[in-house]
Amino acid sequence: MKKTSIFLFFFFLGCVKTEIEPSEKLPINCIGDSMTQGAGSEDGFTYPFFISKLLPNRIINNSGIGGQTAQQIAARQGGLPIYITLSGNAFSGTNPIFLDSLVSNVSGTRISNLFLSTPATNYAYSIDGEVNNIPCTISRKGIEGPPSTREIYTIKPKSTNNSTIPPNSLFIPNDGLEQKKCISVIWLGRNNYGFAKDSSIAYVNDIIKKTVEFNSVKKFLVLGILPNLSDTIGSVSYKVINKTNLNSYTAYPNNYIEMTPPDSSEMNSILYTPSNQDKIDISKGTFPSGMKADNTHLNSFGYHIIANRVYKKLKELNY
């Protein structure tokens, strides 16, 4: 670990007040895109990391994949169904079968949601699950880039199987079944707002509703969409994001976490002193530049603020 990284680790650790909780408390599953994955953070200082330091006796899962839209995230979580159709309507022993004719140019195969895709990396992702009660694995591999311009999806049974798979059969991800029994911390929608269209509002709010309803223990938090540095008060993008967030707050007033700029007490709690530019950014309705790694993503200071807000709400709801 680099010297600066060691300093950051102990600095942030010194700002964290840990609390030991009973082991029977439910796991906390953080689902989302690059903001959850932690793009921009220094050496893994993501917001789930900070929560794990605040609650060291809890299982904290980071289920973020960068570049994903709300519908992809919800499919991984289980809130949106995933349907597949295989060429020949059957598996072939243990051979992998290519999915999605648009991606792999194999006719007769389809997948309804490219739930492992991301333009951010060429990483190979896979997820286990079942289709027609047959255990199997769906995998995604990027071919060019990053950003990925071509990718391949395959599905492969866990053991030799030639069973018939009816068209549009439901694929049930194991991760989704496990996440169904966790406390869900839902942070999605940022990648649905590239053009900040009004049509995105109802769509994203509906997907959030589906992720909330999928949670069987009915314990969840919904984080608002974080404005970019360019999404300043009065801009079209700010208005669209703000309306989406207002809808989330109206639907889940007790479970919603604002993405408004940090106030002085929040910054003081992590020993952060805002610069003059930070104060200008805050006045414009965005997280300050000093807490950002780029236009969109936060750095460790910013993720620490998010973690503190999540922790406060978890305590408030006795989760």
> What would the two tokens of residue 48 be?
């789930």
Prior bond to 81 cis, omega within 30? Answer: no
* Domain co-membership, 190 together with 309: yes
* Domain co-membership, 93 together with 169: yes
* Domain co-membership, 192 together with 52: yes
CA 27 to chain centre: 16
Q: Which of 174, 197, 224 is the last residue of a domain?
A: 174
- Predicted pLDDT of residue 198: 62
CATH number of 282's domain:
3.40.50.1110
* Domain co-membership, 154 together with 216: no
* Domain co-membership, 123 together with 159: yes
* Domain co-membership, 163 together with 290: no
* Domain co-membership, 152 together with 184: no
> What would the two tokens of residue 156 be?
């492969």
Query: In total, how many domains does the chain have?
Result: 2
pLDDT along the chain (319 residues), means of 10: 44 58 80 96 92 96 94 94 89 78 56 88 90 93 72 88 88 86 95 71 94 94 97 94 96 98 98 98 98 97 98 97
User: Alpha-carbon distance 121 to 188, whole Å?
Assistant: 18
* Domain co-membership, 258 together with 155: no
* Domain co-membership, 88 together with 35: no
* Domain co-membership, 71 together with 193: yes
* Domain co-membership, 137 together with 227: no
* Domain co-membership, 197 together with 296: yes
Length of the chain in terms of residues written? 319
Domain hosting residue 14, numbered range: 3-78+180-316
